[in-house]
């Protein structure tokens, strides 16, 4: 591969000492290190994958990092998002990350972008980057990143993980090699709520370090033009078996044809009586209204914290339109954030259960507005 970046100025004696182990590598050398110093890399997500990616790219000497993330640090993040500490809880992740990188690698300039990356702003946020590393945790952002990279003509290092499994690839549609893009592997996003998130299914914390490090290696290889990047290959890790394998990815319809892949239509808004806010539910319970609470989270999630008296119904049963016999009363389905419960209520209503509603915002909203002592994973 040709290097992505033209070399920057000659290294100072201090820089030669700092990156001496890189200078010894034929794959990097002084010229490659000067390329890293001149590089501008966009990193989407400063969480589980973004933490090791940012730390290693800064340590490697990348000159400028654009950090895009609109979330704040939460206590549950600290199990895997090692760029943040206990004192950072409640702070914007871009600020916490920038401060950590300033302590670790003051030679790297950090551009903070405390925004949620969308199809509307992705090209603006990532403009001028030589490459983009995608550590996002949701499909909407992944597709927005992929489309922006194709529009800007830059490669994308992609990574994702869930529980004990992970994937890494490099996408670069439009490259002379005929490399595929993200949409060649995943033409369209899955239906909302059909794929569990890490917040719902869990993730092995150390796995983030393994996968993020692989992504950082791929980024460095692309920047300096070394080795064989994961173009046209998906690297798959099964951490429980500690096995790696690669799967070939073919290029699908090119250019406009790929961009024209039909997207799922937005679902119609739920009727007013099909959802209830946390405060409305709290008032109903306090007023003695007969409410049947149905929790469609996993049993592991429920063990951490649950609403008193809530009946556990597996999500697959609720989505199939089936509820067990319940005592009379209005049924309120809830989950962590409201995505799974909304999906369940749509299915139940389609099956004729018009008395069911879902808790808008889920237990996260309940904890924020009603009961801050409730532990929600």
How far apart, in whole angstroms, are the C-alpha atoms of residue 335 and residue 46?
25
Indicate which residue of 129, 149, 198, 208 is catalytic.
Answer: 198
The DSSP bridge pattern shows strands 131-134 and 40-44 to be parallel
Residue holding tokens 């490459």? 131
Given 129, 149, 208, 335, the catalytic residue: 335
* Distance of alpha carbon 306 from alpha carbon 335, whole angstroms: 10
Sign of the Cα pseudo-torsion (204, 209, 212, 213, in order): negative
Per residue, the 3-state secondary structure of the chain, as one string, reads CCCCCCCCCCCCHHHHHHCHHHHCCCCCHHHHHHHHHCCEEEEECCCCCHHHHHHHHHHHCCCEEEEECCCECCHHHHHCCCCCCHHHCCCEHHHHHHHHHHHHCCCCEEEEECCCCCCCCHHHHHCCCCEEEECCCCHHHHHHHHHHHHHHCCCEEEEEEEECEEEEEEECCCCCCCCCCHHHHCCCCCCCCCCCCHHHHCECHHHHHHHHHHHHHHHHHHHHCCCCCCECEEEEEECCCCEEEEEECCCCCCHHHHHCCCCCCCCCCCCHHHEECHHHHHHHHHCCCCEEEEECCCHHHHHHCCCCCCEECCHHHHHCCCCCCCCCCEEEEECCCCHHHHHHHHHHHHCCCCCEEEECCHHHHHHHHCCCCCCCC
198 annotated active-site: yes
Active-site residues, by number, are: 198, 335
């Amino acid at each position: 591969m040709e290097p992505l970046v033209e070399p920057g100025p000659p290294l100072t004696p201090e820089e030669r000492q700092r990156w001496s182990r890189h200078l010894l590598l034929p794959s990097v050398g002084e010229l490659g290190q000067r390329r890293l110093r001149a590089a501008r890399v966009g990193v989407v997500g400063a969480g589980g994958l973004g933490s090791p990616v940012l730390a290693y790219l800064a340590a490697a000497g990348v000159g400028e990092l654009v950090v895009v993330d609109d979330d704040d640090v939460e206590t549950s993040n600290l199990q895997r998002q090692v760029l943040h500490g206990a004192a950072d809880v409640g702070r914007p992740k871009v600020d916490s990350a920038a401060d950590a990188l300033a302590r670790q690698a003051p030679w790297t300039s950090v551009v903070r972008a405390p925004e949620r990356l969308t199809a509307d702003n992705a090209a603006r946020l990532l403009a001028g980057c030589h490459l983009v590393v995608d550590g996002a945790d949701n499909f909407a952002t992944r597709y927005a990143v992929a489309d922006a990279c194709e529009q800007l003509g830059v490669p994308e290092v992609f990574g994702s993980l869930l529980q004990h499994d992970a994937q890494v690839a490099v996408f670069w549609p439009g490259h002379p090699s005929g490399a595929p893009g993200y949409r060649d592997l995943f033409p369209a996003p899955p239906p909302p709520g059909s794929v569990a998130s890490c917040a719902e299914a869990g993730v092995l914390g150390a796995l983030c370090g393994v996968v993020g490090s692989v992504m950082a290696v791929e980024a460095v290889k692309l920047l300096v033009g070394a080795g064989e990047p994961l173009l046209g290959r998906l690297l798959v890790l099964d951490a429980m078996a500690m096995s790696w394998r690669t799967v070939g990815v073919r290029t699908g319809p090119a250019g406009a044809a790929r961009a024209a892949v039909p997207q799922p239509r937005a679902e119609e808004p739920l009727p007013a009586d099909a959802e209830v806010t946390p405060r409305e539910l709290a008032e109903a319970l306090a007023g003695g209204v007969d409410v049947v609470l149905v929790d469609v989270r996993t049993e592991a999630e429920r063990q951490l914290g649950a609403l008193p008296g809530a009946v556990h119904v597996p999500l697959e049963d609720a989505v199939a339109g089936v509820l067990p016999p319940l005592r009379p009363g209005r049924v309120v389905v809830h989950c962590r954030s409201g995505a799974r419960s909304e999906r369940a209520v749509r299915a139940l209503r389609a099956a004729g259960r018009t008395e069911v509603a879902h808790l808008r915002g889920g237990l996260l909203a309940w904890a924020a507005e009603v009961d801050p002592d409730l532990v929600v994973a």
